Amino acid sequence: MQGNPLLDFSGLPAFSKIKPEHVKPAIDFLIAECRTLTDKLSAQTNPTWQNFYLPLADVNTKLSQVWTLVGHLKGVKSDDAIRKAHEVSQKSMTDYSTWAGQHQALYQAYLTLKASPEFQQYDLAQQKAIDDVLLDFRLSGISLPEDKRADYAKIMQTLSELGSKFSNNVLDATAKWEKRIQDPAELAGLSERALAAAKESAESKNQSGYRITLDYPSYSAVMTYCENAALREEVYKAYVSRASELSDHTLDNSPIIDQILAQRFALAKLLDFDSYADYSLATKMAENPQQVLDFLNDLVKRSRPQAQKELAELAEYAKTEFGVPTLNAWDVAFYSQKQKNSRYAVNDEALRPYFPEQKVLAGLFEICKRLFNLTILQKDGVDVWDDSVRFFDVFDGQNQLLGSFYFDPYARENKRSGAWMNGVISRQKLADGNLEKPVAFLVCNFTKPLKDKPSLLLHQEVETLFHEFGHTLHHLLTQVDVAAVSGINGVPWDAVEYPSQMLENWCWQAESLKLISGHIDTGEPLPDKLLENILQAQNYQSAYKMGRQLQYGLLDFRLHTEYQPTKAGFVRQIANEVEAQVSVVALPPYYRFENAFNHIFAGGYAAGYYSYMWADVLAADSFSRFAEEGILNREVGQAFVDHILSQGGTRSPMALFKQFRGREPRLDALLKQQGIL
């Protein structure tokens, strides 16, 4: 295996040397190593942390790192070769995971370790790591008879393949659609910057005129600013019917959704759960499906009257000011922007010059310096997968390196849409006693710089950056030395979004907005009047926006709670019911949001999308302490690090929250913050 860059663990990944043909040999080699060591160490009569857990964790962590790298490259630099390499090795990874999860001798060795006197001497992280492994065994069907274990293996393999196919279809359907426009009059309303981006996009394809795509910056610009209602409708229809029977049939995700739900239901039944939602909650904070449904339905009940009022006011505004008789789904963003501007003198596009990407980043780092005593420095000369990617080191107050992250900010072809953070290396004390520092990928899809002009962010994109940086801090500031529960590892899924939602709050405070804004031409921060307007506009359509998240959360949870294999047309039926219950906008019959819902069909959020709202409650209530004691108060910031960011998955999020806040969370904190109470 010499010469395979994926197997060089001496430093950071050598991205410029990694090729798709390296994937299979590296994964096969590491899996073989893991299998051999598993068999060998499981046969010991006296397993201990040193002779059993650590050496096994070391080799499995290497496999996990390499697989994360491969998945990362598939997301940020996707082509047929890397997809094929990923697909081939995904089968091997799933096979290995199932094999290890049903390895009887390995299970017995962990049970022996748990029952040993030594276990009582372990620290919290060590005990939690072992307890988590034992829970994973139970959820992997360890106690099933042999034929049922084979069924489990088959289901997991099928689900793995279906999830990959789902996300590939979304990526391909998004990339396939384009609209070429020659006459700029058809794009009236778009900013100079958006027009320049559309022109540059056309030039990149050797086309004349302008090119509109379904990449989010292009889609969003048309929906929010284009005066051409027919074009808005055309782009909206293409976007909300991606990967459905209404677009390219070869990329239709409808049958894949049916198969995924059927396989998940079969998995839950195999493991003696009533539904996949019950299975999903076995590793989450929420206690049972009814608790989640009550939580979501309660928020719908509390927020919907205000959402209806917000939309009625928008419809009246569009009718009175622009003579629009009926407000359609593709009109909402367009007239909302106009209403928001007329009401608060806030034009999102006009705010861009105040948020040059470098200034926002510098301000974010300054906030982290004041709050958490961190110094964040760019490091040059690091091997990256694209020229626009940068690398940063994060140091504590004693100038000790805590961890590092790659920042991939811009949208480009063959890159998955959205924004995310992935931990590629987790903090851990290795078997040889050395401490490995954590490394993360922070990925966004901002509009790239145009020729000589830097990237200018929408305020919404500033929020996205803060959100993903919250995840990044959670991963990098951990003080836990066991990889399985360090950083975001081992944190219940419905608490993972807590630090990320929390950090968004600093995008809505005058003191911090001054730090992250600086006009591209003058360097001046947001003027006081504009700042005041932005803060007044913070809760503009807050109930409507909450409703959209609740709609996605309920759709996900009901699909996974109520699924029965005999129900024909089940997915659309539930989608229609949830839309009728929650949405205050009349959605067209071609609306197929679920067909591109990567979070739940190709990500980790199946029966877990409610986590965003759940975490919002924790974040809003936690931030109220900063609001009371000072939003840049170092003492409170340090308490948040000590009780939340540094703890990894060692303790229950509720216990950690109570330590930080001194009490149980209150739902009212979120409703007050969003102006709904």
Residues assigned a catalytic role: 468
Number of C-beta neighbours around residue 401 at 10 A: 11
Distance CA 298, CA 280 (A): 21
Distance CA 106, CA 649 (A): 23
Q: Which two tokens stand for residue 602?
A: 């190709």
Task: Give start and end residues of each alpha helix (H) in 357-439.
Answer: 357-372
Helix axes 216-225, 192-204, angle to 10 degrees: 140
Number of C-beta neighbours around residue 312 at 10 A: 12
Q: Which two tokens stand for residue 327?
A: 């407000």
Angle, alpha carbons 225-228-230 (nearest 5°): 125
Pairing of strands 439-446, 401-410: parallel
**Rounded to whole angstroms, what are the CA distances from 481 to 400, 401, 428, 433, 475?**
16, 15, 4, 11, 12
Reference 13, options 429, 357, 308, 384; nearest CA is: 384
Burial pattern 61-76, b for ≥16 Cβ within 10 A else e, equals bbbbbbbbbbbbbbbb
In three-state secondary structure terms, 86 is helix
Rg (CA), the chain: 25
DSSP 644: I
**Rounded to whole angstroms, what are the CA distances from 133 to 110, 126, 285?**
8, 11, 17
Number of C-beta neighbours around residue 379 at 10 A: 11
Reference 554, options 602, 613, 501; nearest CA is: 613
CB 240 within 8 A of CB 592: yes
CB 334 within 8 A of CB 611: no
Residues ≥6 apart with Cβ < 8 Å to 348: 224, 337, 340, 458, 459, 460
Distance CA 121, CA 437 (A): 25
- The structure tokens 């010499």 sit at 2
Angle, alpha carbons 140-568-153 (nearest 5°): 20
Compute the residue count for the chain: 677
Reference 548, options 241, 317, 237, 240; nearest CA is: 240
Distance CA 226, CA 232 (A): 7
Residue 565 phi, psi (nearest 5): -60, -20
Q: Which two tokens stand for residue 503?
A: 């950090």
